[in-house]
A and B are shown apart, each in its own frame.
Chain A
Amino acid sequence: MTGFFRVATYAVGLIGLFAAFSHYGIPQLVPEPPPVEERVTGTMTTEEFVTVGARIYARVCVLCHSGLGDRAPKLDAIAMAWRERIGDPRYRGKAKNLEEYLRESMVEPSAYVVKGFGKPGTNDTESPMPEATKGALALNPGEIDALIAYLQSAAGTQVTVAPRAGLAAGAGRPTAEPSIGEKALDAVTALQKFQCNTCHRLPGLATEDGAQPLGPDLREIWRTAANRVAGMNARDFLTESILFPNKVVAKDFESGLMPEDYGDRMLVAELLMIVDHLAREH
């Protein structure tokens, strides 16, 4: 039996070593959360527009266009390079200016493949860059415009695209249905957007005095949320309360009052922000 314990201890110790190395020997980066669609409105200033583009660029394009390794060409000199590109006999696109070239490079990457960067074995006729409006990237037209604005601005040339309102959402990205509306940018706006404050007192939102609210006061919920339901931590409990309000009904309150369709109306990002906000100490 001692033999058994020795072996078991050894195995557990070894597993512990591997786990410890992965914890302490490796930087614990927090990976980017799943991307949410950037919304572009007609009222944005050019600066805001370029900022949106920069954000998308950092999230999506830097992976390849950082200049590291042999992944993809750097784009900082594109303001000079594009004329050469479209003058190249291998060029198969229709672009006449920088804006068109950038758009084409994103939407139809194989129209021109920078020398040495083609897919292996295709002799630089096929680009390994994914089409930006499809598949894993699935950017919407507004986002593409914003990227162009950013790339132009980063290359030090004039920004020739302006934010357009009412562009259709990109394919394959299920987040934004028309009825969902514009994504709230922070938790407080999200709470306002869904009018949680009509029934709740909320942290970070001024409270109107007067009538007793219909729902429980949520300003202090971070103190108790973790202990409300056995087996659920604070975040799980809050998520559950928002998505399925009638599953756990707060004491002294009626069930059936709080809308049950937030799951359909909220973006994941909004839900996460709200839950974070409510679970945080105030």
Chain B
Amino acid sequence: MRALASMLLFVLVLVAFEAALSLAPWHEGAMAAAGAPAVEATAAQPGAPKLTVADYPRYRGFNSRLTVWIAAQLHLFFAAFVLGVPIFVLVIEFIGWRNGDPRYDRMAHEFIKISMGAFSLTATSGGILVFALAVFYPGLFAYLTRIFGPVMMLYALLFLAETACLYAYYYGWDSMQGRRKPGHLLLGLALNVVGTLLMGLSNSWATFMMAPSGVDSQGVFAGNVWVAVAGPLWTPLNVHRFLANIAYGGAIVGAYAAYKFIAARASEAKAHYDWMGHTANGIAVVAMLPLPFAGYWMTKEIYAYSQQMGITLMGGVFAWLFIIQAVLIGTIFLAANFYLWCGMARLDGANRTAHLVKYIAGVLVICFLVWFTPHTLVMTARELATIGGAYHPVLGPLGVMSAKNTAVNIMILATFFTYQLFRRSMVHSTRPWMARASRFQVALYVAAVANIIWLGVYGYFVPANIRIGLSVPQVMTTLLVIIVCIVVDEVIASRSKRIGAVHWGRMPARAQYALFTLAVAFTWLMGLMGYIRSSIRQHWHVYTVMRDGSVDAFTPTIGHATAIVSVCTLLFLALILFVFWLSGLSRAREAPAGLAEAGATP
């Protein structure tokens, strides 16, 4: 029944897409029909149209910009979710297949089931977005389709393939067990490859609008779609979104698990959903650790593309949005850590390290404050007068990139350290070399933090262009520690006895609220960043090439923008709740007995 409904929806979306695509050739056809010889027609091929207010249809009761904004944001939420989930589902399924533990397989299956429901909403919201764009912004839509027509066709085809893969992957889950598992895994891989391509293609429209390539200064398209797709910001955005989608998927299924945990009565079910929540939190955290770096890389590319856009972003009115971003990301880091600390209650052996928690919390808070401190936040003379000065006399120096990078790196290390404590509490070092290995790890942390701080301080004594380069060794240090520690931990874990059991389900309810916090903050953050991304174009549809001539071309105040972000978040959460509820209707199998006492290290 549900499959049928989704198929129907899909056909609807395709029809909408076709209709939308036909708009572009239609425009050109009209021009060719005017009787110009073919050669002249190409020579006179118009660039980006210059639009006036009259080119934007207005419909009573609809604010064009808000309609498109909300439709686009909801579509992004759903798309990010349904693209992120299959990535870690595949990994979990693979792990389950290698270690033969059926619980992994079941969890992966349950995760993908949640995203199935969201899939039809992705298609629906996408259809609404295309429709809204074509109706409210016909000029822009026609221009984009003229350039990206073939890419959009490919997109539609890939969407078809994505649907096919997803349905086969999901409905084939139970029948493709045992000997046919590798086939199923390959199917999952295909699903993810197609999904990632899909994301890349749609990202290209967004990055083209920010940093157009393949067109000249008048917006005349040179004819090579690939050049238009692979613009200067395309790769960084792809990377940032790929990671963010995984983290986002983790955060949302974490909320699902938390909700189920609270609702569950039987201790088996509680254990199952606790484990699920723990895994989801782990996914969100691990995918989030490299995000700041991906974010800085994207920013660097924005500066390289246009210093003006970069400064508008980080040093103009939009800079205030990054204060909000910092608060959100700080919330996410603290919530994730809080959850990990609560998780120590599941362990018998954790008491040894519990006292460290307060120090980690302190480090996190201090780093957060440094990161949060703005450096310069002023764009125009008018703002300078409003705010009354650009640098804070005391805090100003903390706002420099050097200090921020240092803080972020230490925050990441601290979070990883928490995670490591949790894992190490489950094993008992029996041999002397293990104690030595642990001491080595401690020394590594100390050296790494010293190195990161030293690089940060050194940054104050060198010119800006060298300072930027220093962030690389800082990141490398952090990554090195993480990788080495994971390897050492694996070796120790594989050679030693586990002590105590993990009491899955022995988790306070307030820890579940940390998972809710993660989901809400992530959704809101995403809405905020999506807004930043599209609003730094300011009064341009396509930066420097096609001006926004509508009455909505102005930049709203932060209060207004974030109110819309809040509305989008509420809408999304309401819809996703509906999806959870739907997937609850087709009864999840309860977790088997015995999990509550199992000692697995997920």
**Inside 8 A of A230's CB, which chain B residues have their CB?**
61
- How distant is A229 from chain B, measured CB to nearest CB, in Å? 6
Distance from A194 Cβ to chain B, minimum over Cβ atoms (Å): 14
Q: Which of A150-187 contact B (CB under 8 A)?
A: 171-174
Chain B residues with Cβ below 8 Å from A120 are 304, 465, 468
Of the candidate stretches A40-48, A55-63, A87-95, the one touching chain B is A55-63
Q: Is B67 among interface residues, defined by CB-CB distance under 8 A?
A: no
Asked if A111 lies at the interface with its beta carbon under 8 angstroms from chain B, I say no
Q: Is B358 an interface residue (CB 8 A)?
A: no
For residue A210, CB closer than 8 A to chain B, the reply is no
Asked if A70 and B558 make an inter-chain contact with CB atoms under 8 angstroms apart, the answer reads: no
Please tell me which one of the listed residues A12, A19, A59 contacts residue B380 in the complex, with CB atoms under 8 A apart.
A59
Q: In the assembled complex, which residues on chain A have CB atoms less than 8 Å from the CB atom of B465?
A: 116, 120
Bitwise, B561-573 to A at CB < 8 A (1) or not (0) is: 0110110011001
Comparing B125-133, B150-158, B310-318, the segment that makes contact with chain A is B310-318
Q: How far does the alpha carbon of A261 sit from the alpha carbon of B547 in the complex, in Å?
A: 21
The DSSP consensus for interface residues of chain B is helix
Q: How far is the CA of A31 from the CA of B551 in the complex (A)?
A: 15
Residues from chain A with Cβ under 8 Å of B309 in the complex: 136
Partner pick for B53 among A11, A31, A263, CB 8 A cutoff: A263
A27 B516 Cβ-Cβ under 8 A: no
Q: Is B297 positioned at the interface, with any CB of A under 8 Å from its CB?
A: no
By the criterion CB–CB under 8 Å, are B60 and A231 in contact?
yes
A12 contacts across to B, CB distance below 8 A: 570
List the A residue with the shortest CB-CB distance to B556: A31
State the interface size on chain A (CB cutoff 8 A). Answer: 65
A266 to chain B, nearest CB (A): 7
* A18:B566 contact, CB within 8 angstroms: yes
CB of B351 closer than 8 Å to a CB of A: no
Which residues of chain A from 52 to 94 have any CB-CB distance to chain B below 8 Å in the complex?
58-59, 62-64, 66, 68-71
Residues of A within 8 A of B316 (CB): 63
Which B residue sits closest to A22, measured CB to CB?
A: B562
User: Is the beta-carbon distance between A11 and B573 smaller than 8 angstroms?
Assistant: yes
B306 at the interface (CB under 8 A from A): yes
On chain A, the residues within 8 Å of B324 by CB distance are 18, 21-22, 26
* 0/1 interface trace, chain B 460-471, chain A, CB 8 Å (1 if under): 000111001000
Provide the A1-26 mask, 1 if CB < 8 A to any CB of B, else 0. Answer: 00100011011101110110111001
Complex interface bits, A116-138 against B, C-beta within 8 A gives 1, otherwise 0: 10011000000011100011111
A243: interface (CB < 8 Å): yes
Is A62 in contact with B381, judged by CB distance below 8 angstroms?
A: yes
Binary interface profile of B, 505-530, with partner A (CB < 8 Å = 1, else 0)?
A: 00000000100110011001000000
Which residue among A71, A231, A266, A268 has the maximum number of chain B CB atoms within 10 Å of its CB?
A: A268
Assess whether B559 is in contact with A22, with CB atoms less than 8 Å apart: yes
Chain B residue numbers with a CB within 8 Å of A149 are none
- Contact stretch, chosen from B34-42, B412-420, B433-441, B536-544: B536-544
In the bound assembly, the distance between CA atoms of A12 and B516 in angstroms comes to 11
Interface residue A271 (Cβ < 8 Å from any Cβ of B): yes
A260 to chain B, nearest CB (A): 9
Seed contacts A7-B516, A66-B384, A71-B311; 10 additional CB < 8 Å A-B pairs: A10-B513, A10-B516, A21-B327, A29-B320, A31-B557, A69-B376, A135-B544, A136-B540, A171-B217, A232-B60
Interface residues of A (CB under 8 A from B): 3, 7-8, 10-12, 14-16, 18-19, 21-23, 26-35, 58-59, 62-64, 66, 68-71, 116, 119-120, 128-130, 134-138, 171-174, 229-232, 236, 239-240, 243-244, 261, 263-264, 266, 268, 271-272
Can you list 12 residue pairs at the A/B interface with Cβ under 8 Å?
Answer: A3-B263, A7-B516, A11-B520, A15-B566, A22-B324, A23-B559, A31-B554, A31-B556, A63-B380, A134-B544, A136-B544, A236-B58
- Give the top 10 A-B pairs by smallest Cβ distance, nearest first: A263-B54, A174-B50, A34-B539, A231-B61, A22-B562, A128-B307, A135-B544, A31-B555, A70-B464, A19-B566
